[in-house]
Amino acid sequence: MRFNHGSFFETDSATGKKYDLHSNVENFGYIIDAEGFSLFHSGDGSFSDKSHFETYHFGDRDFDIVFLDRTFLRKEGQEIMNSQIHAKNLVFMHIEPARSEYYKTIIKDVPGLSVFTKKMEKKLIMLSLSKSD
Protein backbone atom coordinates (compact mmCIF):
# COMPACT_ATOMS: atom_id res chain seq x y z
CA MET A 1 0.00 0.00 0.00
CA ARG A 2 1.24 3.48 -0.76
CA PHE A 3 1.39 5.90 2.14
CA ASN A 4 2.95 9.33 2.43
CA HIS A 5 6.49 9.14 3.73
CA GLY A 6 7.13 11.03 6.93
CA SER A 7 8.60 14.49 6.41
CA PHE A 8 12.12 15.57 7.22
CA PHE A 9 12.78 19.28 6.80
CA GLU A 10 16.13 20.95 6.24
CA THR A 11 17.02 24.54 5.50
CA ASP A 12 18.65 25.33 2.17
CA SER A 13 21.89 27.14 3.06
CA ALA A 14 21.72 29.29 -0.10
CA THR A 15 18.08 30.40 0.06
CA GLY A 16 17.26 29.95 3.74
CA LYS A 17 14.03 28.17 2.77
CA LYS A 18 12.95 24.92 4.42
CA TYR A 19 12.32 21.92 2.22
CA ASP A 20 11.19 18.36 2.81
CA LEU A 21 13.94 15.88 1.97
CA HIS A 22 11.32 13.13 1.74
CA SER A 23 8.76 14.91 -0.43
CA ASN A 24 9.55 12.66 -3.41
CA VAL A 25 10.15 9.45 -1.46
CA GLU A 26 7.67 6.68 -2.11
CA ASN A 27 6.73 4.72 0.99
CA PHE A 28 5.04 1.35 1.14
CA GLY A 29 3.10 -0.21 3.97
CA TYR A 30 2.40 -3.92 4.13
CA ILE A 31 -0.40 -6.14 5.36
CA ILE A 32 0.57 -9.74 5.84
CA ASP A 33 -2.12 -12.34 6.45
CA ALA A 34 -0.84 -15.83 7.23
CA GLU A 35 -2.36 -18.83 8.95
CA GLY A 36 -5.11 -16.79 10.59
CA PHE A 37 -2.89 -13.93 11.77
CA SER A 38 -2.77 -10.42 10.41
CA LEU A 39 0.14 -7.99 10.61
CA PHE A 40 0.43 -4.40 9.37
CA HIS A 41 3.77 -2.59 8.93
CA SER A 42 3.57 1.11 8.04
CA GLY A 43 7.14 1.41 6.81
CA ASP A 44 8.13 5.06 7.19
CA GLY A 45 4.53 6.06 6.57
CA SER A 46 2.92 8.98 8.29
CA PHE A 47 -0.59 9.86 9.36
CA SER A 48 -0.60 12.96 7.12
CA ASP A 49 -3.33 11.66 4.81
CA LYS A 50 -6.14 9.98 6.76
CA SER A 51 -7.89 8.99 3.53
CA HIS A 52 -5.31 6.25 2.93
CA PHE A 53 -6.60 4.37 5.95
CA GLU A 54 -10.16 4.70 4.73
CA THR A 55 -9.21 3.69 1.16
CA TYR A 56 -7.60 0.49 2.41
CA HIS A 57 -10.58 -0.22 4.75
CA PHE A 58 -8.50 -0.35 7.91
CA GLY A 59 -11.57 0.22 10.07
CA ASP A 60 -12.97 -3.11 8.84
CA ARG A 61 -9.93 -5.15 9.92
CA ASP A 62 -8.51 -6.51 13.15
CA PHE A 63 -4.74 -6.90 13.31
CA ASP A 64 -2.79 -9.14 15.65
CA ILE A 65 0.33 -6.95 15.40
CA VAL A 66 0.77 -3.45 14.01
CA PHE A 67 4.13 -1.70 13.50
CA LEU A 68 3.82 2.10 13.31
CA ASP A 69 6.20 5.00 13.00
CA ARG A 70 6.61 7.11 16.14
CA THR A 71 4.74 9.96 14.44
CA PHE A 72 1.52 8.08 15.17
CA LEU A 73 2.04 8.98 18.82
CA ARG A 74 1.14 12.58 17.95
CA LYS A 75 -2.46 13.68 18.46
CA GLU A 76 -3.39 13.27 14.76
CA GLY A 77 -1.82 9.83 14.62
CA GLN A 78 -3.60 8.75 17.79
CA GLU A 79 -6.91 9.78 16.22
CA ILE A 80 -6.22 7.40 13.32
CA MET A 81 -5.16 4.64 15.70
CA ASN A 82 -8.38 5.06 17.69
CA SER A 83 -10.71 5.20 14.70
CA GLN A 84 -9.05 3.10 11.99
CA ILE A 85 -6.44 0.73 13.42
CA HIS A 86 -7.73 -2.13 15.53
CA ALA A 87 -4.74 -4.00 16.93
CA LYS A 88 -4.10 -6.40 19.78
CA ASN A 89 -0.41 -5.41 19.86
CA LEU A 90 1.18 -2.10 18.84
CA VAL A 91 4.88 -1.70 18.25
CA PHE A 92 6.28 1.77 17.63
CA MET A 93 9.34 2.18 15.45
CA HIS A 94 11.96 4.89 14.92
CA ILE A 95 12.06 5.87 18.57
CA GLU A 96 14.93 8.31 19.08
CA PRO A 97 17.09 6.87 21.89
CA ALA A 98 17.72 10.31 23.39
CA ARG A 99 13.94 10.89 23.66
CA SER A 100 12.86 7.50 25.02
CA GLU A 101 11.73 9.00 28.34
CA TYR A 102 9.54 11.48 26.46
CA TYR A 103 7.85 8.66 24.53
CA LYS A 104 7.33 6.73 27.76
CA THR A 105 5.30 9.64 29.13
CA ILE A 106 3.06 9.62 26.05
CA ILE A 107 2.16 5.93 26.39
CA LYS A 108 2.21 5.60 30.19
CA ASP A 109 -1.56 5.11 30.41
CA VAL A 110 -1.90 2.80 27.41
CA PRO A 111 -1.78 -0.88 28.41
CA GLY A 112 0.38 -3.20 26.35
CA LEU A 113 2.64 -0.56 24.81
CA SER A 114 6.35 -0.35 25.45
CA VAL A 115 9.21 1.93 24.55
CA PHE A 116 12.52 0.14 24.26
CA THR A 117 15.42 1.97 25.89
CA LYS A 118 18.30 -0.49 25.49
CA LYS A 119 19.95 -1.98 22.44
CA MET A 120 18.43 -5.30 21.38
CA GLU A 121 15.70 -5.06 24.02
CA LYS A 122 12.94 -7.57 23.33
CA LYS A 123 9.24 -8.00 23.91
CA LEU A 124 7.69 -11.42 23.48
CA ILE A 125 4.21 -11.39 21.99
CA MET A 126 2.41 -14.68 22.30
CA LEU A 127 -0.17 -15.37 19.62
CA SER A 128 -2.71 -18.10 20.06
CA LEU A 129 -3.37 -20.63 17.31
CA SER A 130 -7.08 -20.25 18.05
CA LYS A 131 -8.69 -16.99 16.96
CA SER A 132 -11.37 -17.47 19.62
CA ASP A 133 -8.86 -16.53 22.37
What value, to the nearest 5°, has the Cα angle with vertex 73 and ends 125 and 120? 45
- Which pLDDT score is estimated for 126? 75
Burial class (CB in 10 A: 0-12, 13-18, 19+), 70: middle
- Which pLDDT score is estimated for 132? 52
- Which pLDDT score is estimated for 129? 56
Residues of the chain with pLDDT under 50: 133
- Which pLDDT score is estimated for 38? 92
Q: Where are the beta strands (DSSP E) in 25-79?
A: 26-28, 30-34, 37-41, 63-69
- Which pLDDT score is estimated for 133? 47
Give the C-alpha separation, 23 to 21, whole Å: 6
- Which pLDDT score is estimated for 10? 86
Runs of H (alpha helix) within the chain: 51-55, 75-84, 100-107
Closest CA to 44 of 79, 98, 88, 6: 6
- Which pLDDT score is estimated for 41? 92
- Which pLDDT score is estimated for 75? 83
User: pTM, whole model, 2 decimals?
Assistant: 0.75
pLDDT digits (tens, 9 = 90+) for 12-22: 888 889 988 77
- Phi, psi (rounded to 5 degrees) for 115: -120, 120
- Which pLDDT score is estimated for 128? 64
